[in-house]
Amino acid sequence: MAPEWADALVREVCAEAGVASPVLRWRRALRQNSSGVTRRHERSVAVTAGHDPVDQRLTLLHELAHWLAAPARRHRGRVLHHDLNFYRVAFALYLQHGVPTAEALSREGARYPSSLRHARALFVVGADEAWGLRRIALRQRARLRGPRRVLVAEHTVRLVRDGRWTRCSVCGARVVGPVLARLRRRSGRHTLLSIG
């Protein structure tokens, strides 16, 4: 059963937008943060609620933004669930329904780094600073990692099966996705680098 405030929030947001409310499914989890999923074809929003009340509210509003925003577009075969149009709706909901903007930026930024780029484009207050801080953090992390070392020098890939995976028998690296498809068509070379 969803808490009363959550049911009320769904009704309020949908009434303001002039759309029908989704069915709200709510369950609790023994963790700090919440997660959610919106299923348009089922007309439902499901939230798995953690302990943090701000995160519960943000998660529900995030899902309601999926409910209100135009259906996700596709770009080069990928579905864009969290594009500029989505964040236009989401940040407006956070602002109108009691999620402090700084909280929205830090939580969205942690889950979807590209949200900060969209927030800047939407002139969300504090987005420039959050974006800048994230760039500094990324640069520091890269510096701490140090240069990547060559573990196995460049060689011709030899594909072998390893259970449900395919590996290169020379260096042991797992080969997946488009790279695997390409190497199946014609042979290629690669170098094994340290993760850092």
Contacts with Zn ion by CB under 5 A lie at 168, 170-171
Distance CA 66, CA 82 (A): 9
Asked whether the beta carbons of 139 and 108 are under 8 A apart, the reply is no
Least separation, in Å, of the C-beta of 43 and Zn ion?
17
In whole angstroms, the minimum distance from the beta carbon of 112 to Zn ion comes to 7
Answer whether 24's CB lies under 8 Å from 47's CB: yes
**Cβ closest to Zn ion, residue 138 vs residue 179:** 179
Q: Which two tokens stand for residue 106?
A: 């830090």
Nearest to Zn ion of 37, 142 (CB atom): 37
Identity of the residue, 133 or 171, whose beta carbon is nearer to Zn ion in the bound complex: 171
Q: Considering the complex, what minimum distance in angstroms separates the CB of residue 183 from Zn ion? A: 10
Shortest Cβ distance from residue 173 to Zn ion (Å)? Answer: 5
User: What are the tokens at 183?
Assistant: 């190497």
Angle of helix 4-17 relative to helix 53-68, nearest 10 degrees? 30
Nearer to Zn ion, 95 or 171 (CB): 171
